[in-house]
Structure 1
Amino acid sequence: MNPVQLTGPRVTIREFHHVPRDIDALHAIFGDAETARYLPFEPRDREDCADQIALYIDEAEKQPRAVYRLAVVLTADGEDAVPIGNAVLGTEGQRAAFVGYALRKDVWGLGYATEITRLLCEFGFETLGLHRLAARLDPENLASARVLRKLGFQLEGRIRHDLFLRDTWYDALQYSLLEEEWRAAREGIGG
């Protein structure tokens, strides 16, 4: 495996480790009903979170690597700190990928999601040579919609009945950002 580490001013995105610290941190996100309300699954128990991290490590060892499911820590706390969130970039062929993130609710509203998404965009466009990034979100997730728009993602449309969960169909909003839009925005802010 070629470990990924993306470092920003306030957050560092790194590989998950199958250790109690990372398992507990993922459970604090995926196991919390309020945090999981915008995620495409029911809240998960600790054992499920341990299984998820094992899957993330297996995915990281595949060649070529198609999915990056990564831990988010505060840069000031060091790369082995307790994660405050997770980030994902999954390739979809034709130089395209999807991005996403989930954060512990006690760190919502502090700007970390914007920095995470910016680091994922930089990784996707600059390191992986992608042409298109996409993100899907619950139409009620207004904070994530603001993050995407701030970074230049364009709303492509509403996907009706995209997810069936809790005996209900849910719609999704699809956003995308193209490589040339990313580069133009970076040049506009000093590159």
Structure 2
Amino acid sequence: MVPVRLTGPRLAIREYHHTPEEVDALYALYSDPEVTRYLPFEPRDRETCADQIELYLEEAMAEERDTYRLAVVRREGAEDPADALPIAHASLTLGKYRSAHLGYVLSRGVWGRGYAGEIAGLLCELAFGPLGLHRLAARVDVDNKPSAKVLTRLGFQLEGRVRHDLYKGGVWSDSYLYSLLVDEWPGPSAPFASS
């Protein structure tokens, strides 16, 4: 495994550690109904979160890695980001033809600080840099306007509306599909989007 370590102005993105503290951090994220409102699953219990981190580490060890599910930590106040507790989750899921789906989830306590744009920007750097991808896609619930704003500020283009894309809690919801191509990415020197 070649561990992922990305560093932005305020955040770092790294592999998860299977420790009780990191399980608690993921549980705090995924047990919040407001945080999971636009995710494809209901709030999770602590045991499920522990299992998730185990899965993330197994995926990281795959000979041909196609899934990157990563911890996002604040750099401020941490001597070493490897020791800081996650405040968000970031993901890249590789597909065919040098493409991937991008995703991020932030703890409610850090909403509105521009962290989503920094996370998405760092994931773009990973995708279009070391991973050599050509296309990134992201699906956003039609009611999740802050996330759509983050993507458009980074240059993602709206491709269209995916009808009845998610069935959760007995209700169907639609998503917008956004994409960004490598030649549309302004590069790592571009400022991170603020939300």
TM-score (norm 2): 0.93
The CA RMSD measured in Å over matched residues stands at 1.4
Q: Deviations over 1:74-122 (max 9, x none)?
A: 0122311111001001100210001010010000000000000000000
**Distance in 1 (alpha carbons) for counterparts of 2:156 and 2:52:** 28
C-alpha change, 1:23 and 1:189, in structure 2 (3 Å) is: closer
Matched residue, 1:136: 139
> Pairwise mapping of residues 149-168 of structure 1 onto structure 2 (< 5 A)?
149-168=152-171
Contact 2:125–2:188 (Cα < 8 Å) also in 1: no
**Distance in 1 (alpha carbons) for counterparts of 2:12 and 2:155:** 22
> Pairwise mapping of residues 1-191 of structure 1 onto structure 2 (< 5 A)?
1-76=1-76, 77=78, 78-79=80-81, 80-182=83-185, 185-186=186-187, 189=190
**Distance in 2 (alpha carbons) for counterparts of 1:61 and 1:154:** 33
TM-score (norm 1): 0.95
Residue identity matched to 1:15: E
**Distance in 1 (alpha carbons) for counterparts of 2:54 and 2:163:** 32
**Distance in 2 (alpha carbons) for counterparts of 1:107 and 1:89:** 21
**Distance in 1 (alpha carbons) for counterparts of 2:6 and 2:26:** 19
How far is the alpha carbon of 1:21 from its aligned partner?
1.2
Residue identity matched to 2:124: C
Contact 2:12–2:73 (Cα < 8 Å) also in 1: yes
**Distance in 1 (alpha carbons) for counterparts of 2:187 and 2:93:** 23
**Distance in 1 (alpha carbons) for counterparts of 2:172 and 2:9:** 39
C-alpha change, 1:84 and 1:160, in structure 2 (3 Å) is: same
How far is the alpha carbon of 1:3 from its aligned partner?
0.7
Higher helix share: 1
* Runs of 4+ with >6 A deviation: none
SS in 2 for 1:12: strand
Gaps (5+ residues) in structure 1? none
SS in 1 for 2:187: helix
State the aligned residue count: 188
Residue identity matched to 2:141: D
